[in-house]
Amino acid sequence: MSSSNTINMLKIIRFHIVAGGVLAFSLGGLLALANGGSFNPALFALVYVVMLLGDLSSHYSNDYFDVEVDKHVEQKKFFAGSAILVNHPNLRALSKSVSVSLLVCANVLAVKIFLFLGAPIEIFIVILLASLAGWFYSSPPLRLASRGLGEVAVACVTGFAIPGLGYLAVRGQFDPLFVFLAFPFVMYGFMLSLSLEAPDSEIDRKGGKRNLAVRKGARNVFLLILALTAASTLTFLVYSWLLASTVLDIGVLTLFSIVPLTAALVGFAGVLQKKSVNRFSALNVASLFVFNLLTVAYLLAIVSAA
């Protein structure tokens, strides 16, 4: 393969999404470590590789199956697909092969670390389900993004599966602390999905997708985002009152949750004034990065002080 084709294939990777995965995985691992987990560097690194391979597979499969949709893109957006396969159709078959190969490698590696490193079987189950969700997000016959189920898939993968893999790599099992926190995390995953698809609603409509942005419009989508962030903050607040945790102060997470809540408020107000959806979608995504960064820093402080 020529160097130009190699570069174009690498451009399909959305490195900001990879960075988000690093944060979410690290958050899960640090939460488990703060909760009494045992840190095995080799196992933690290998589980991250499993997660990364599955993540990268979805980049290539989504670009492959969304070629017809991407043909309608007139202006490149930061969080949109690369459109590399639109401009370089000779790479389409290779992109599909790379996606399948990465998917197989992720699941084979998950089996191997279960068999030879004593990793919990839940790691294989989670990566298998996340891999299937990533593949069928845009792949027929399920094509979740075209059936109004894409947002649910993204929410579960980003809010539960990715931090869950980090948690399992350190703690070895799910426990009430992670299960409780998974609820607001999944709601933030839903917020992420809606924020990513909102700017492309017209393109998705032309491409035959039936996601919430296409069916409900920007105003209702940003209203739902506001409701999700408010529900997340309220959930953290209730947890801080009702749950006695010696591991972390959930009130601190409640404070951090004000960041995405504020972004959602600004975004909804902006959409009501018919301002550009793009900037408010980007603001929502950035606020989730900030929330994860703050939470990771807080958990690092707890672990360092222990």
pLDDT in tens, 127-160: 999 999 999 998 888 888 877 788 999 999 999 9
Number of Cβ within 10 Å of residue 170's Cβ equals 22
Beta strands in 181-248 (DSSP E): none
> Under a CB-based contact definition with an 8 Å cutoff, are residues 75 and 149 in contact?
no
> Under a CB-based contact definition with an 8 Å cutoff, are residues 11 and 142 in contact?
no
- Whole-number average pLDDT of the chain: 89
Q: How does DSSP assign 60-82, residue by residue?
A: HHHHHHTHHHHTT--S--TTS--
Position 138 scores a pLDDT of 87
The span from the first CA to the last CA of the chain, in angstroms, equals 51
Q: What are 268-300's pLDDT values in tens digits? A: 999 988 888 889 999 999 999 999 999 999 999
Position 3 scores a pLDDT of 81
φ, ψ dihedrals at 77, nearest 5°:
-110, 150
Position 66 scores a pLDDT of 82
> Under a CB-based contact definition with an 8 Å cutoff, are residues 148 and 12 in contact?
no
Q: What is the dihedral of CA 43, 49, 51, 57, to 10 degrees?
A: -160
Position 83 scores a pLDDT of 75
pTM over 0.75: yes
Position 74 scores a pLDDT of 53
> Under a CB-based contact definition with an 8 Å cutoff, are residues 151 and 194 in contact?
yes
